[in-house]
Chains A and B, each alone.
Chain A
Amino acid sequence: MGFFHQVLPGIGTKYELETESGDLISVIFMPNGRVQLYTQPAQCPECYAADLNPMETRRLGNVLTGAIMEAEEEGVEIAFSALADLRIVVHTYIIREQLSGKSITDLNIRSRTGVTVLAVSRDGKNTVNPRPDFRFMAGDAVVVIGESDQIRTFEQEFME
């Protein structure tokens, strides 16, 4: 496997990864923040290209590093190797109609699932560390943190 990078004058910076099977992957970062991604299968003269904006680049990066990705919900799993390989998941969800008007205490989220609500985003405004009496509204985006089993329980209890 080979990994190279070079400056392309007037274009940006190019990173090239040659996989064990001989496929070539090139990523070009341009000064305007856009990224072009190319794949060239081994023994094939054609290149397949995608042009990504900064948001799309970050999302693709999340996918490649193993984060959970869904249409409107996304998350990232962080592994702490110094803490007996502790794996923490941070995940976002959209609150549905049936939870609207209920508070964190009403739902008893932490004792039922083990996850903690880190933040809520409503109409472009963020509330970090919401109080226990914070009442959800349909459409709120919530950020929760916990281990993957706890996150799964949260999904089963409140999101299905």
Chain B
Amino acid sequence: MEGIAIALAACVGVALICRRYAVPPIPFYIITGLLLGTAGLGIVETSDVSEWIAHMGLLFLLFTMGLHLHPGEVAKRRGSFLIAGIIDLCVNFAAGFAVAFCIGLPLYDAVVLAGAFYISSSAIALSSLIDNRKLGFRESDTVIWLMVFEDIMLVALLILFTAQEVSPFRIIGIILCVAIAAFACVWKFQGRLRQFFAREDELPILAVFLAVVVAVAVSEVTGVPDSLFVIILGSAVSLAAADRAEAVARPFREVFLVIFFVFFGISVSFSGVPSLLILASVIVLAIITKLVSALVIGKAVHGRVLSGIDIWTDTASRGEFSILLALLYGSPAVVPVVAAMVVVTSCFGSFTGKFSIHIRRWCGRIIAGK
């Protein structure tokens, strides 16, 4: 427990500084972990307890992600939602796969790196839109729905990776059964569920925690990852009480997720990493490919290339979902590459998100030839 106490105390200090200067704390939690752990001073090591807490952080993150996947709202989105999502997927996933292939990763690891390369950090993007007051721009709607599209693609990737270990028919069958049961239950009892989540006592908190723990238990029995179960649960609950369930789950997510980020940093070892030049090239490409896809989206959806600059400044960061893919499915060769990519792109993305209006003006002047 001393390790967790030291890591958490360091993170409280980091969070204080980050809030003071209005920058996202995620990359700095990871840097704190790198400094404290295997890659740095080596004063904190992972333990069973820290791994359990970090895993719960991951599950609460995915549960709240599921809450944002309201089937009705997603179904209403057509045209621009699909166009933006497909452009983002094609450009960045393909580029990530090509990068992984060039640095000599085997096929499975290449797909993991491509996924981590493709998925932006929703946490950083959304907090940038709110904190930097950009929600009034039409491009912000595109960014928000792009994050939802990436979430759906993450679910597809999780199913794909799981299907490598368990029979694809078995996994799809179980997921469908669980999804139908969860959505049918919520649909049938949505009035009562809404009343239940409106309670001011501890029962909604206990119920949300229980739901996540039950997902872990069911996963152990069925062999299907708990990450998929909690996403389905979150999406089902979003039919009845998305806002209230998110408010209840938020304290768990905030605390456990900090442990998740810092212990990810602690566990990273750079011993098997490719050369610094290759690492730098991967990071630069990760930033450039997001710029390319954003410019194409800006032109295709908003009719202006400059809109793409706004989209890029908020989607350049990789974060929690890239780490998730690397931790759950990546080999020791992939994890440090993803760690470095997340740290650098999220710091870079925080900067571009904060100064996006200046960056757009500057690019506008260049395009206009002034």
Binding site for B on A (CB under 8 A): 6-11, 14, 24, 26, 28, 30-31, 36, 38-40, 46-47, 49, 51
Collect the chain A residues with CB atoms within 8 Å of residue B133's CB. Answer: 36, 38, 47, 49, 51
Contact of A9 among B135, B136, B148, B247 (CB under 8 A): B148
In the bound assembly, the distance between CA atoms of A30 and B135 in angstroms comes to: 11
Proximity string of chain B (223-256) to chain A, C-beta cutoff 8 Å, 1 when within and 0 when not? 0000000000000000000010011000000000
The residue on A at minimum CB distance from B151 is A9
Q: Check: B55 CB closer than 8 A to any chain A CB.
A: no
The residue on B at minimum CB distance from A36 is B135
The residue on B at minimum CB distance from A39 is B136
In the bound assembly, the distance between CA atoms of A30 and B68 in angstroms comes to: 14
The secondary-structure label for the interface of chain A is strand
- 14 A-B residue pairs with CB within 8 Å: A9-B68, A11-B129, A11-B130, A11-B144, A24-B136, A26-B136, A30-B130, A31-B243, A31-B246, A36-B130, A36-B133, A36-B135, A39-B136, A49-B133
Collect the chain B residues with CB atoms within 8 Å of residue A30's CB. Answer: 130
Collect the chain B residues with CB atoms within 8 Å of residue A10's CB. Answer: 68, 122, 126, 144, 147
Collect the chain A residues with CB atoms within 8 Å of residue B145's CB. Answer: 9
The secondary-structure label for the interface of chain B is helix
The residue on A at minimum CB distance from B134 is A47
Q: Check: B141 CB closer than 8 A to any chain A CB.
A: yes
In the bound assembly, the distance between CA atoms of A38 and B129 in angstroms comes to: 13
16 other contacts beyond A6-B141, A10-B122, A49-B136, with CB at 8 A cut-off? A8-B144, A9-B144, A9-B147, A10-B68, A11-B126, A11-B135, A14-B135, A14-B141, A30-B130, A36-B136, A39-B136, A40-B136, A40-B137, A46-B357, A47-B136, A49-B135
Collect the chain A residues with CB atoms within 8 Å of residue B137's CB. Answer: 40, 47
- Count CB-based A-B contacts (< 8 Å): 55
The residue on B at minimum CB distance from A37 is B136
The residue on A at minimum CB distance from B65 is A10
In the bound assembly, the distance between CA atoms of A77 and B73 in angstroms comes to: 38
Proximity string of chain B (113-139) to chain A, C-beta cutoff 8 Å, 1 when within and 0 when not? 000000000100010011001111100
Contact of B69 among A8, A9, A14, A24 (CB under 8 A): A9
Contact of B135 among A7, A26, A31, A39 (CB under 8 A): A26
The residue on A at minimum CB distance from B76 is A6
B370 to chain A, nearest CB (A): 15
Collect the chain B residues with CB atoms within 8 Å of residue A36's CB. Answer: 130, 133, 135-136
Tell which of A9, A24, A30, A40 has the most Cβ of chain B within 10 Å.
A9
A43 to chain B, nearest CB (A): 14
Q: Check: B194 CB closer than 8 A to any chain A CB.
A: no
